[in-house]
Amino acid sequence: MSEALAVVETAGTGTPVPAVSGARQFWRRLRAQRAALVAAAVVALLVLVALAAPLLTALEGQDPTTYHPTLIDSARGGVPIGSFGGVSADHWLGVEPQTGRDMFARLVYGARVSLGVALAATVVQIAIGVTVGVAAALGNRWVDQLLSRATDIIVSMPLMIMSLALLAIVPASFPRPVLVTLVIGLIAWGSIAKIVRAQTLSLKGLDYVSAARLSGWGTWRIARRELLPGLAAPVITYAALLVPANISVEAALSFLGVGVKPPTPSWGQMLTAADVWYQAAPQYLLLPAGALFVTVLALTVLGDGVRTALDPRAASRLRVGTGRKDTTGTENATGKTPENAADGAARGAAGSANEKEASA
Amino acid sequence: MSGFGGFLLRRAVGAVVTLLAISVIVYVVFYVTPGNVAQITCGPRCSPEQVHQVAEQLKLGDPLYLRYWHFLQGLFVGQDFSTGTSVEHCAAPCLGQSYQTDQQVLDIILTKLPVSVSLVLGAMVLWLLLGIGTGVLSAWRRGRVSERVLTAVTLAGTATPVFVIGLVLMIVVCGELQLLPFPQYVNFSDDPEQWAWNLLLPWFSLALIEAAAFARLTRAAMLETLAEDHIRTFRAYGVAERSVVGRHALRGALAPVIALNANNVGSAVGGAVLTETLFGLPGIGQELVHAVKVVDLPVVVGMVLVTGFFVVLANAVADVLYAVADRRVVLA
């Protein structure tokens, strides 16, 4: 890890950095950003809540799937009985309209689904993206052409539409959270493959990689031992931005009623019917909306912080114009060949467009 | 100029290849699934005779490449559909037929398209104005309190899912304040004024989140341009700061913004699906969600192909516009 960061520093900025201090320097830079620290604390809390969901609900004495017909007023269309949507000592955040399921339990179990799906999808995206990117950069011309075109095609597919379509054809018996994870992971790996390819191409030209090749190492060994560590920084940076994007996609799919299905709780799914109930049970709208907002915001701020800590140039570019003529950002800063300069420049924007797509 | 012509040609060929590749992927994913393809295509409520007919229609007995060729033929020259009693011709570009509604997929899409186009184009105007405006303003006010506020607002904007913004807007504006009625789509040709009023909230819901991305990008691009030598020269000559920022720096910062806008079409389509579902607008997004829920496969496949077409087209246009805005791209 420390080695990895140091390598990228050297490759990126031309400033020699002692190898030992890489990881430490990352923490120092991250700690220096107050917003990122707060965000990290929030994220840690959310992860804790998600992990401890069974414990927390046991403490409350409820579970997320039991119906409580006695707590809702069926004469008034299923409005929870009591103020603020039925908040009581037994039901800390009230109950759901119509079903009477416990809101607190559904919310904390929803955190599990949200974070679990987003993190697992990110792992899938990174696995595919890194494999494709490294293979494209190290393979011969044809392999590179083939993989790069495939990546272009994946990037140009509208994520939301493809996810919806894929969700239609898989039998209902397939476990839904796993399916949503796979769909997001299998569709949205294009940007990361592009970044990894560019970074690998630039690392490939460095002396220590040439030295390894001259000592007769095989391609596979070089990829694993010499290149992968150097890819850590850009991959971590991009992964940190993918997680909140994936959370939004899962929420959106579940909101549309094609993602995670009841009885499994999901924040997006909770919002589906919320507009009908906002007067009778405002917490039914506010809690999942607030949870989504806080989670995505915290992860986004943390992602920005990680990027700043790993690539100080990004920070200086954003905060104080450096005057350096340096185009769109980390993804195509390196390894760009002249004939695909247009592509690269447009894709630089496309990279952020993809993040956006996901959060739309 | 020949350089530019060659660039255009390369880009056009690339777009066509991408489209063909998408059609292959879509075909393989949806028509070469392990299950009973005819049954899935026809839908859950089909009789065995109907399923048999669909199998004939899709030429499921043929080898794979012939089946795909048949599918492509439909797209480019049209094909005939037998509905049991009569034969119906489906003109190119034939996207097939929904076996659940007995409508041609292209017709379904064409009736829904104006709603989605109204939504996305209107929202695009808004997000460009809001996004670029905010970005320029925060680059201009750099280091002041107003810039920090703008940055915080845009950050919050990027973190809010479009359906949350839409829900909150709808509840506050339509429900609590009753400033607007709950949106109901009115055709532009019927009543342009009502069309605009009813689309106002959907436009804002879709635009706010996109605008946030544009604000961030514009700001970064502006700061970069502002640090360049020619801007320093303008300042040295005593050009007013307002004109330096608003005219000269903005011009230099527009290229990446143009690229992002066209590349954003895919994301806007995704956002439109959510906005349409939320506000009950009868566009292709709402239709797609419906088709997914009732497993109307031909409609789903048609939607994927049509949206893929628009996104690829937009990407190609983006690259060309980018090259026009920054001629170094072509020369390189």
At A250-276, the pLDDT tens digits run 999 998 888 888 788 889 888 887 777
CB contact under 8 A, A168 and B332: no
**Structure tokens belonging to residue A355:** 């993040």
Q: What chain B residue is nearest to A277 in terms of C-alpha separation?
A: B171
How confident is residue A330, by pLDDT bands cut at 50, 70 and 90?
A: very low
For residues A105 and B40, what is the distance between their CA atoms, to the nearest angstrom? Answer: 37
Is residue B309 less than 8 Å (CB to CB) from chain A? no
* pLDDT tens per residue across span B146-180: 888 888 888 888 888 888 888 888 888 887 787 87
> Please, are residues B159 and A244 in contact by the beta-carbon 8 Å criterion?
yes
Q: Which two tokens stand for residue B22?
A: 């998408």
Write out the two tokens for A249.
Answer: 């996609």
- Partners of A80 in beta bridges: A72
pLDDT tens-digit profile of B287-306?
998 888 888 888 888 888 88
pLDDT of the residue at A243: 92
Q: How confident is the model at residue A348 (pLDDT cuts 50, 70, 90)?
A: very low
For residue A320, what are the CA distances in angstroms to A189, B138, B142, B145, B222?
A: 31, 13, 9, 16, 11
Tell me the percentage of chain A whose pLDDT exceeds 90: 19
Q: Could you say which residues from 104 to 123 on chain B have a Cβ atom under 8 Å away from some Cβ of chain A?
A: none
Q: Which of A285, A260, A258, A265 is nearest to A160 (CA)?
A: A258
CB < 8 Å to B158, chain A: 300, 356, 359
Contact A341 B329 (CB under 8 A): yes
The domains located in chain A, with CATH, are 1-31+318-342 (no CATH), 34-59+105-313 (1.10.3720.10)
Q: Which one, of B236, B37, B219, lies nearest residue B131 by Cα?
A: B219
Most confident stretch, A105-109, B23-27, B245-249: A105-109
The two tokens of residue A47 are 């992860």
**Which pLDDT score is estimated for A18?**
45
pLDDT of residue A314: 54
Closest CA to B103 of B298, B301, B308: B298
Please give the pLDDT value at position A6.
Answer: 41
Total CB pairs under 8 A between chain A and B:
219
Phi/psi at A22 (nearest 5 deg)? -55, -60
In tens, the pLDDT along A278-310 reads 777 777 888 888 999 999 999 988 988 888 888
Give the pair of three-digit tokens for residue A334: 């390196």
Query: Looking at residue A10, what is its pLDDT?
Result: 41
Residue A45 clears pLDDT 70, i.e. is over it:
yes
Q: Does B159 touch chain A (CB under 8 A)?
A: yes
Per-residue pLDDT, A294: 92
| CA dist., res. B170 & res. B190, Å (int) | 24
Work out the number of other CB atoms within 10 angstroms of the CB of residue B227: 17
B102 touches chain A (CB under 8 A): no
Q: Stretch B321-332: mean pLDDT, rounded?
A: 63
Mean per-residue pLDDT of chain A: 76
Q: Scanning every residue of chain B, which has its alpha carbon at the shortest distance from the alpha carbon of A345?
A: B256
Task: Estimate to the nearest angstrom the gap between the alpha carbon of B96 and the chain centroid.
Answer: 22
> Which residues of A are less than 8 Å from B260 in CB distance?
349-350, 352-353
Residue of chain B minimizing CA distance to A328: B256
**pLDDT higher than 70, residue A355:** no
Query: Which of these ranges, A332-346, B75-89, B193-207, has the smallest mean pLDDT?
Result: A332-346
**Do the chains contact at B264 and A356, CB–CB below 8 Å?**
yes
Helices A103-138 and A228-255 meet at what angle, rounded to 10? 140
Q: How many other β-carbons are positioned within 10 Å of the β-carbon of residue A150?
A: 16
Give A61-117 pLDDT, tens digit per residue.
Answer: 777 777 777 777 777 777 777 766 667 777 777 777 777 788 888 889 999 999 999
Which residue in B156, B163, B269 is closest to A271 by CB distance? B163
- Would you call B90 helix, strand, or coil by DSSP? strand
Q: Comparing B262 with B247, which gets the higher pLDDT?
A: B247
User: Shortest Cα distance from B252 to chain A (angstroms)?
Assistant: 12
What number is the average pLDDT over the span B70-74? 81
User: What's the mean pLDDT in A327-336?
Assistant: 37
Main-chain dihedrals φ then ψ at residue B98, nearest 5 degrees: -80, 125
How high does pLDDT run on average in chain B?
81
Secondary structure of chain A in HEC code, one letter for each residue: CHHHHHHHHHHHHCCCCCHHHHHHHHHHHHHCCHHHHHHHHHHHHHHHHHHCHHHHHHHHCCCCCCCCHHHEEHHHCCEECCHHHCCCCCCCCCECCCCCCEHHHHHHHHHHHHHHHHHHHHHHHHHHHHHHHHHHHHCCHHHHHHHHHHHHHHHCCCHHHHHHHHHHHCCCCCCHHHHHHHHHHHHCCHHHHHHHHHHHHHHHCCHHHHHHHHCCCCHHHHHHHHHHHHHHHHHHHHHHHHHHHHHHHHHHHHHCCCCCCCCCCCHHHHHCCHHHHCCCCHHHHHHHHHHHHHHHHHHHHHHHHHHHHHCHHHHHHHHCCCCCCCCCCHHHCCCCCHHHHHHHHHHHHHHHHHHHHHHC
Alpha-carbon distance of B289 to B105, in angstroms, equals 15
Measure Cα distances from A190 to A133, A157, A347, B262 in Å. Answer: 9, 10, 10, 17
The single-letter code of the amino acid at B63 is P
Structure confidence at residue A316 (pLDDT): 53
Q: Which letter does DSSP use for residue B32 in this model?
A: S
pLDDT computed for residue B203 by the predictor: 92
Answer whether residue A333 shows pLDDT above 50: no
Average pLDDT over residues A152-161: 81
Contact between chains at A256 and B319 (C-beta distance less than 8 A) = no
Identify all chain A residues contacting B283, using CB atoms and an 8 Å cutoff: none
Structure tokens at A293: 């907002």
Q: Is B270 part of the contact surface with chain A (CB cutoff 8 Å)?
A: yes
Which of B227, B222, B229 shows the shortest CA–CA distance to B252?
A: B222
Distance CA A328, CA A330 (A): 7
Query: What's residue A329's pLDDT?
Result: 39
Alpha carbon of B80: minimum distance to chain A alpha carbons (Å): 25
Q: Which chain B residues are Cβ-neighbours of A248 within 8 angstroms?
A: 161
Top-confidence range, A222-231, A239-248, B192-201: A239-248
Distance CA A269, CA A254 (A): 5
Question: Of B7-16, B119-128, B316-325, which range is least confident?
Answer: B316-325
